[in-house]
A and B are shown apart, each in its own frame.
Chain A
Amino acid sequence: MKKYLSFFRVRFSTGLQYRMAAVTALTTQFFWGLLECIIFKVLMESNSVAMPMSYSAVVSYVWLKEAFFALFNTWAADNEIFGMIVDGGIAYEFCRPVSVYTMWFSRSVGSRMAEAALRCGPVLLGALLVPAPYKISPPSSLFAFFMFLLTMILAMGVTVSFCMIVYMLCFFTISPVGWRVLLTGAVELLSGAVIPLPFIPQPYRQVIELLPFASMQNIPLRAYSGDLTGDHLLPAVLLQVFWFVVMTTIGVLLCKRAERRIVIQGG
């Protein structure tokens, strides 16, 4: 545990050193959030049709998405791990006396959390300081906040285990970069990164909500505002657990195969 904590610290302080990068990320996330909020407001005003989510729920969704971007981003996978897959350095990883899956998994979690910790504060502060309709509201209840934290951890687990599968699949192909773009690209819409999933019309929405990608950021960001509550929340959490277990199992199996292949073919 101590090992991972020190890893977290290292990540955190390297993150701070690149101050331009930090400022960039913050500004990006802040403006992204603000512009998105504006779009939804204009949409709401231009049409009398009922919104599938309350406006304050949309605003919370958008700001939390930007604040915790690092936790749920399937797009920015760990470049060091990718580097190892591309240049063959992965073979050395398998020589170490630890489980590669556990090691990579905790590494990804560590770097995601460090980055999120670095960024969520200022972004949320910005979200609190913007004027009224765009301002983030507090969690709908203490219970909602608790569920937000719980489902956020689960969502990060699902996201990381998905990325682990991507790494492993990339290992088996000759063009990891291409696969990475393809696989991560496909997830964007399905995970609710483009628009919140409730905005997707039926019957698509019903299907999409069952997919593992909907168990990522979609759940915690909606739990916070109380958009996802009561009868709908429990199945969603169970689904998250289910997908986490399934994807981790697949990842571990793939990892074992990769290991066997390295032992036999020398990488």
Chain B
Amino acid sequence: MIVMDNVCKSYKVAKRNAGLKEACKALFHRETEEIQALKDVSFQIADGEMVGYIGPNGAGKSSTIKILSGILTPDRGTCSIDGRIPWKNRVEHVKQIGVVFGQRSQLWWDIPVVDSFELIKEIYSITTPAYKDSLEELTSLLQLEEILKTPTRQLSLGQRMRCEIAASLLHRPRLLFLDEPTIGLDAVSKLAVRDFIKKMNTEHGTTVLLTTHDMQDIEAIADRVILIGRGKVLLDGTLQDMKQLVKQENMEKKAEEGKNFKENEYIQADKYVEENANGEDKERFDNLDQVVAKLYRQLDIL
């Protein structure tokens, strides 16, 4: 059970102006600016849920993940995971979570994958029988037999990502954070990753929090979507709710503008929504990227 309650976080960022004169000035005095990364973020996630956490770049997604994983302390608000406060007892907390960063590797570059796994076993103090069990299961689910003996540097991106995911799950965490796990993957690998996540959820009841820009990941995995923009939670519901929001806004706008509807640059997206609102073509509303793009613009959070 994850509970986030009115969590706030702000950063100080150094202002940097262009020009030689400004650079000289900055040598002696540097102005800083406060940026609110999270403003009163609250949500709850029950055990075994699969939640998609979306928002444009810089919305506050990674700050949230960092707070949940105990590597960042919030300014205000409380957060508890299964009764633990993540940043208070880091070591105990991180034993229970697994984190996959799609853009960063945690495997050792020059040694065979299985050696990396052994080192992770050591780091997490996993007992040998438990390790064997996990490894066996992960190997068969992610089809790793062939590549376990290969050094990481020789793996393709898709193969590597499968190994990364396995590495994050060797200690059988009850909670899994995935940060863009399918970025840059080919279609086959993407499907494999999504299938695997779903399987872990059904078989072990692993709670999954997924951040991604790939809306198909969300559609395939998440039952619930939390949308964050400019540090605030703007929507917490299902994909259907999200579509609904776009539709509604659009209808209102239509009503306002009446028949003098001006063509604008988003005309395509508008058309989809309009048609969908009339129930003429439900299929075309499935272009989630357009729905999300439209939503971001509507909410003005880009």
Which residues does A use to contact B, with CB under 8 Å? Answer: 9, 12-13, 16-17, 19, 22
Contact = CB atoms under 8 A, between A and B. Distances in A.
Contacts of B27: 16, 19, 22
Interface of B: 16, 19-20, 23-24, 26-27
A16 B24 contact: yes
B1 to A, nearest CB: 44
B16 A17 contact: yes
Contacts of B23: 13, 16-17
Contacts of B26: 16-17, 19
Contact of B20 (A12, A19, A22): A12
Nearest to B21: A13
A22 B26 CA distance: 12
B20 to A, nearest CB: 5
Nearest to B18: A13
B279 to A, nearest CB: 53
A15 to B, nearest CB: 9
Contacts of A19: 26-27
16 contacts: A9-B20, A12-B20, A13-B19, A13-B20, A13-B23, A16-B20, A16-B23, A16-B24, A16-B26, A16-B27, A17-B16, A17-B23, A17-B26, A19-B26, A19-B27, A22-B27
A9 B18 CA distance: 12
B111 to A, nearest CB: 19
The 7 closest A-B pairs by CB, nearest first: A16-B23, A13-B23, A19-B27, A13-B20, A17-B23, A16-B27, A16-B24
A5 to B, nearest CB: 13
A12 B20 CA distance: 8
A27 to B, nearest CB: 14
A16 B16 CA distance: 12
Task: Tell me the interface secondary structure of chain B in the complex.
Answer: helix
B16 to A, nearest CB: 7
A16 B19 CA distance: 11
Contacts of B16: 17
A20 to B, nearest CB: 10
Given A13-B23, A16-B24, A16-B26, 10 more contacts: A12-B20, A13-B19, A13-B20, A16-B20, A16-B23, A16-B27, A17-B16, A17-B23, A19-B27, A22-B27
A22 B19 CA distance: 18
B27 to A, nearest CB: 5
Among B19, B20, B24, residue most surrounded by chain A Cβ atoms (within 10 Å): B20
Nearest to A17: B23
Contacts of B24: 16
A254 B24 CA distance: 41
A47 B15 CA distance: 56
A162 B26 CA distance: 36
Nearest to B20: A13
Among B19, B23, B26, residue most surrounded by chain A Cβ atoms (within 10 Å): B23
A162 B153 CA distance: 34
B24 to A, nearest CB: 6
Contacts of B20: 9, 12-13, 16
A127 B14 CA distance: 33
A19 B22 CA distance: 13
Nearest to A22: B27
A22 B27 CA distance: 9
Contacts of B19: 13
A149 B152 CA distance: 53
B22 to A, nearest CB: 9
A13 B16 CA distance: 12
A11 to B, nearest CB: 11
Contacts of A13: 19-20, 23
B220 to A, nearest CB: 35
A111 to B, nearest CB: 16
A9 B21 CA distance: 12
A166 B97 CA distance: 48
B233 to A, nearest CB: 36
A12 B23 CA distance: 10
Nearest to B19: A13
A225 to B, nearest CB: 32
Among A9, A19, A22, residue most surrounded by chain B Cβ atoms (within 10 Å): A19
A17 B16 CA distance: 9
A176 B26 CA distance: 37
A40 B147 CA distance: 62
A19 B14 CA distance: 13
Nearest to B22: A13
Contacts of A17: 16, 23, 26
